[in-house]
């Protein structure tokens, strides 16, 4: 462990970074996940040498053997967090939580556990060298750490070799829509995760299996899919890439509980803290699709929103399924959703006091 924590990052700066004028052009309207920075971090793992060969190098293609285990058995995990521009510097929001979730995902996928400090150092090093890629205004630099099985072997067993990589993408808003709120499609045919499965891990396989449901959502004119539990097909779990909150007419809130089948979102956990501090009664409790429809129609449910690193806090306006559709509130952003969003974004962007110690400065 001590050998690992003192790993030296060898720097190979990009000899031909994107020129500043071209970068400015790209940052003017980056979209989401298409504009990438000049560098990446790579760290290797083998059963024999443990974590070794840490580098900052030019971002670019990696060569892989066609028998690399990940290409066949999908032993892969990832994380997502954002760096924000603050004055001349950069900050990250609760990166230690991402490091810990990465460790939990690794354990579930039978992968080696990357020490928290090494995860943080890798992210810091990349943000520091590619700080110029953080857009101004509402944009941010989306950091994507990931790790995959790299042993050249065809056989179902944990790999003996892994590659950990961190890349960064300059991003604007996650949703392309200009609508004030997003629409959801309730997946009744497909589920995302079953008890005992990998729902609480951030592994690529979970997203691969959500794609058909998301395609169905798109076909039905909806922005995102919302999944129900796999056992009773009754309880609302989460969206394809976000957690969900419900706001009632007495101001109280509910979010589905973490029971191993949903991703323990860092935004979700932050909003639970912020809501409690505002004196809002908030419960982690099961909420059924039938109750949701009934409460939306009666007006007992006033607002609903999705939350996550990419989507931040996004109001939900319409919910559609094979059984028809219903609207939430006035179909646009509600006041409590907006209030919680501005409290969260205020801390993330350094406009509000960070009384929880959530902000991590990158030097
Ligand atoms: C399936 C899923 N749920 C929830 C979230 C929200 O998690 P976080 O707030 O940590 O970004 C994400 C995003 O990473 C996700 O992919």
pLDDT higher than 80, residue 6: no
* Helix/strand/coil for 179: coil
pLDDT higher than 60, residue 2: no
Ligand 1 atom having least distance to the Cα of 98: 10
pLDDT higher than 90, residue 180: no
Catalytic-role residue among 202, 327, 341, 355: 202
Ligand 1: list residues with CB < 6 Å: 80, 238, 241-243, 263, 265-268, 308-309
For residues 75 and 71, give the distance between their C-alpha atoms in angstroms, rounded to a whole number.
8
The per-residue pLDDT for range 105-147, each reduced to its tens digit, is 999 999 999 999 999 999 999 999 999 999 988 899 999 999 9
Residue 202 bears catalytic tag: yes
For ligand 1, atom 1, which residue shows the shortest CA distance? 241
For residues 249 and 221, give the distance between their C-alpha atoms in angstroms, rounded to a whole number.
28
pTM here is 0.96
For residues 224 and 236, give the distance between their C-alpha atoms in angstroms, rounded to a whole number.
14
pLDDT classification of 102: cutoffs 50, 70, 90: very high
CA of 256 to the centre of ligand 1 (A): 13
For ligand 1, atom 2, which residue shows the shortest CA distance? 241
* Helix/strand/coil for 84: strand
pLDDT higher than 70, residue 3: no
Q: What is the full DSSP assignment across 151-185?
A: -B--SSS--SEEEEEEEEEEE--S----SSSEEEE
* Helix/strand/coil for 4: helix
pLDDT higher than 80, residue 1: no
Angle among Cα 240, 244, 246 to the nearest 5 degrees reads 150
For residues 214 and 207, give the distance between their C-alpha atoms in angstroms, rounded to a whole number.
10
What pLDDT is attached to residue 330?
A: 84
The per-residue pLDDT for range 196-234, each reduced to its tens digit, is 999 999 999 999 999 999 999 999 999 999 999 999 999
Nearest to 337 by CA among 180, 202, 213, 125: 180
CA of 97 to the centre of ligand 1 (A): 12
For ligand 1, atom 7, which residue shows the shortest CA distance? 265
pLDDT higher than 90, residue 161: yes
CA of 312 to the centre of ligand 1 (A): 10
The per-residue pLDDT for range 271-316, each reduced to its tens digit, is 999 999 999 999 999 999 999 999 999 999 999 999 999 999 999 9
pLDDT higher than 90, residue 363: no
What pLDDT is attached to residue 5?
A: 52
What pLDDT is attached to residue 4?
A: 47
CA of 17 to the centre of ligand 1 (A): 31
Ligand 1 atom having least distance to the Cα of 269: 9
Rounded to 5 degrees, what are φ and ψ at 350? 80, 15
Ligand 1 atom having least distance to the Cα of 266: 10
* Helix/strand/coil for 198: coil
For ligand 1, atom 16, which residue shows the shortest CA distance? 241
The per-residue pLDDT for range 240-263, each reduced to its tens digit, is 999 999 999 999 999 999 999 999
**End-to-end CA, the chain:** 25
Ligand 1 pocket, mutate which of 245, 272, 308 (most atoms under 8 A from CB): 308
For ligand 1, atom 3, which residue shows the shortest CA distance? 242
The per-residue pLDDT for range 313-349, each reduced to its tens digit, is 999 999 999 999 999 998 888 999 999 999 999 999 9
């Amino acid at each position: 462990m001590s050998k690992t924590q003192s790993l030296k990052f060898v720097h190979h700066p990009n000899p031909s970074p994107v020129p500043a004028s071209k970068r400015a052009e790209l940052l003017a309207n980056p979209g989401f996940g298409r504009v990438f920075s000049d560098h990446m971090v790579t760290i290797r793992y083998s059963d024999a040498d443990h974590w070794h060969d840490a580098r900052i190098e030019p971002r670019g293609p990696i060569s892989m053997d066609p028998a690399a285990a990940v290409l066949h058995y999908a032993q892969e995990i990832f994380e997502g967090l954002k760096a924000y521009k603050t004055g001349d510097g950069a900050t990250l929001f609760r990166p230690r939580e991402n490091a810990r979730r990465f460790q939990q995902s690794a354990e579930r996928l039978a992968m080696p556990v990357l020490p928290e400090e090494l995860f943080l150092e890798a992210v810091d090093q990349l943000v520091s060298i590619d700080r110029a890629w953080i857009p101004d205004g509402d944009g941010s630099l989306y950091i994507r750490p990931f790790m995959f099985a790299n042993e050249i072997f065809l056989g179902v067993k944990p790999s003996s070799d892994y590659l950990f990589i961190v890349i960064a993408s300059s991003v604007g808003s996650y949703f392309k829509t200009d609508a004030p709120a997003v629409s959801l499609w309730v997946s009744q045919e497909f589920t995302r995760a079953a008890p005992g499965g990998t729902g609480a891990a951030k592994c690529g396989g979970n997203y691969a299996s959500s794609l058909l449901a998301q395609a169905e959502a798109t076909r039905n004119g909806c922005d995102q899919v919302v999944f129900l539990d796999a056992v009773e097909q009754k309880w609302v779990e989460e969206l394809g890439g976000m957690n969900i909150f419900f706001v009632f007419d007495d101001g109280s809130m509910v979010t589905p509980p973490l029971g191993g089948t949903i991703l323990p979102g860092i935004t979700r956990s932050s909003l639970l803290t912020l809501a409690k501090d505002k004196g809002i009664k908030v419960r982690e409790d099961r909420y059924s699709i039938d109750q949701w429809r009934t409460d939306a129609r009666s007006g007992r449910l006033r607002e609903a929103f999705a939350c996550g690193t990419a989507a931040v806090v996004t109001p939900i306006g319409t919910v559609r399924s094979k059984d028809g559709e219903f609207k939430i509130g006035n179909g646009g952003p509600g006041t409590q959703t907006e209030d919680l969003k501005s409290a969260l974004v205020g801390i993330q962007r350094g406009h509000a006091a960070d009384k929880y110690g959530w902000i991590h400065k990158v030097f």
